[in-house]
Chain A
Amino acid sequence: MPPLTLALRRLGLTPRELATHAVLLLAAFAVLFPFYWMVLTAVRPSQEVFSAGFSWLPETFVGLDNLRTALDQAPLLRFMLNGAIVCAGILVVQLLTAIPCAYALAKYEFRGRDLLFALTLFGLCVPIQVPALPLYIALAFTGLLDSYFALMLPFFLSVFAIFLFRQVFKSFPDEIIHAARLDGLSEMEILWRIVVPSAGPAIAAFAVFSITAHWNDLYWPLIVVTSKELAPPPLGMMYFADNETGANFGALMAAATLLTAPLMIIFLFAQRHFIRGVTMTGVK
């Protein structure tokens, strides 16, 4: 056996697998390149962007200068704080409303249950752009536009959460609920102290899902927010890119890096949950 093949064997790699790795690494490079270019541009002087050639590393490394410029020009930290407030508010209300509803759908018999479940499934198909006009008009008439409440309102109800948690609660054994009831626990206590802790992974998966969706949402903030102080990250990024008439790419990319980073970090830590969440939506 030739020495190279032997060495690969020892690593547990066949030549075919090596070729697969080569193809996948190339594809991964292409997919990750925009992130690389973003960070690269964030740490080099902006005139380098305009130079004719392409360089893999910054010719002049400017460290955090671009980031400082960006922070001077726009309240990026404020945008991130807004994003955090909105995401947290939405998630808390989503969990508090969806969990009991999902539990009722999964474990109780009541009149109208099938209708409620059918409406949940219907709701899964309706994108935010459909109720947007009436919700906007209602917020305009009540003087609630341009507020955190306006940013959160359409997302308080998550039919996806109801659907997902119903599936999870359905598989929770009835015997345990029955035993808890004999021990004198109220229905509320059974739900929050016994059933919900067992659904931890599903709740984590949904939380990552929800935070990602609302941190990244542009459509609704673009409609209801007019004051800069309330802008969540995507809208802030849009303001920033618009005002950046001097074509300061370095600062722009530093801003993009900063606004994208929190979610990337959450994803890298919670990717198991996230990927599980995707799988639960579709295939299962």
Chain B
Amino acid sequence: MALSLVTPQPRPADAAEKRLGARIAPSIAYWFAAPSILLLVATLLLPILVVVALSFTDYELGALGLSFLGFENYAALADDATFWRSLKNTAYYTVLVVPGSVLLALLLAVLISGLSRGRRFYQIAFFLPVTSTLIAMATVWKYLLHGAIGPVNHLLVFLGFPALEFFGNPDLVMPALAIIGIWQLVGFNMVLFIAGLTAIPADLYEAAAVDGMDRPWERFFTVTLPLLGPTTMFVVVTSSITAFKVFDTVAVLTRGAPQGASDVLLYVTYLEGFQYFRIGPAAAMTVIFLGIIMVLSLLQARIIERRVHY
């Protein structure tokens, strides 16, 4: 379907004149778009169709043939405890990371926007984790949160709390990973909030002041927060998508341990597909993953649309 774009189609010349003020051979547009269309089909559209097709088969890498299974892979997943655990853990991670990274980012953005100097310094400081190599920093975090020698535990003990074995305790491993996730995401969200805050017209604050609202929190709840509504929704959905894709920290730090408490969807899919080469089930998991991401993306698209009319 998309390939038909490459073939030049005859079309009325006035369409070209309307836009360009000159007669341009329509084939130029196709030549300009052709490399991207080729890549779009070869590295995106076709693979998606193939992954959906493979999810209905018992294909294994290296096997000579494959047979059509219908929905068997999906039915098997429905009975698979590891799969459900990975879904649950991913959802749990998302539920921890999203409020943490959004509320902190909002707080930081409001505080920074109220400053008369030093704004750039704070922006850079909080944004630095976004650009950091997560694998390297995950290794740092592993020792920061280490049960015996980690500075975080030194602090906890100093404050009179018991030391915690973050990566050894099934109840603490997801919160520990979430701390790293929040740390990496908060600066990104903060920048989005600062942009949203900059877009709020100053005369709305003046109007609020005329109405007798001169305390910061009054202004925050009557002016800032309602006008930041669309930005907040957008940041929440974007963060959910990011959190749902958690992989790196699990692959490096925990590999699902302890006792499967940190199995997440992408890690389990990765093991199934690229370690055990059971392509069929891995493809089925990928399709489910894509489905969840698409739902979140549609939500995001609707928010962007709403903002245009806002």
Contact = CB atoms under 8 A, between A and B. Distances in A.
B140 A17 contact: no
Interface stretch (B68-76, B91-99, B188-196, B218-226): B188-196
Contacts, number: 302
B19 A107 contact: yes
A244 B251 CA distance: 17
Contacts of B297: 124-125
Given A24-B112, A108-B24, A219 B122 contact: no
Contacts of B160: none
Contacts of B129: 31, 34
B209 interface: no
A266 to B, nearest CB: 8
A21 B121 CA distance: 11
Interface string B47-73: 110110010000001000000000000
A252 interface: yes
Nearest to B18: A109
A115 B115 CA distance: 46
Contacts of B123: 271, 275
Contact of A157 (B36, B132, B235, B286): B36
Interface stretch (B37-45, B82-90, B167-175): B37-45
- Residue of A20, A130, A212, A271 contacting most chain B CB atoms (<10 Å): A130
Contacts of A187: 24, 28, 32
Interface in A259-282: 259-260, 263-264, 266-268, 271, 274-275, 278-279, 282
Contacts of A241: 139, 252
A104 B33 contact: yes
A99 to B, nearest CB: 9
B22 interface: yes
B238 A156 contact: no
Contact of B111 (A20, A38, A274, A284): A20
Contacts of B133: 215-216, 233-234, 237, 256, 259-260, 263
Interface in B8-26: 9, 11, 15-16, 18-22, 24, 26
- Residue of B44, B124, B154 contacting most chain A CB atoms (<10 Å): B44
Contacts of B286: 129-130, 132-133
A55 B51 CA distance: 52
A129 B245 contact: yes
A127 B245 contact: yes
B116 interface: yes
Contacts of A182: 22
A130 B116 CA distance: 46
List 10 A-B pairs, minimum CB-CB distance, nearest first. A131-B47, A125-B297, A157-B39, A101-B36, A100-B32, A256-B136, A108-B29, A134-B47, A134-B50, A112-B5
22 contacts: A20-B111, A20-B114, A31-B125, A34-B144, A101-B32, A108-B26, A112-B2, A112-B5, A129-B247, A130-B286, A131-B48, A132-B47, A133-B286, A162-B36, A219-B248, A219-B266, A219-B270, A234-B248, A259-B133, A260-B137, A271-B127, A283-B195
Interface of A: 12-13, 16-17, 20-21, 23-24, 27-28, 31-35, 37-38, 41, 49-50, 53-54, 96-98, 100-101, 103-105, 107-113, 115-116, 119-121, 123-127, 129-137, 140, 153-154, 156-157, 159, 162, 174, 177-178, 181-182, 187, 191, 212, 215-216, 218-219, 222-223, 233-234, 237-238, 241, 249, 252-253, 255-257, 259-260, 263-264, 266-268, 271, 274-275, 278-279, 282-284
Given A125-B293, A282-B231, 14 more contacts: A24-B111, A31-B125, A110-B26, A126-B48, A130-B286, A134-B51, A140-B61, A157-B43, A174-B21, A222-B251, A233-B133, A233-B136, A267-B131, A271-B127
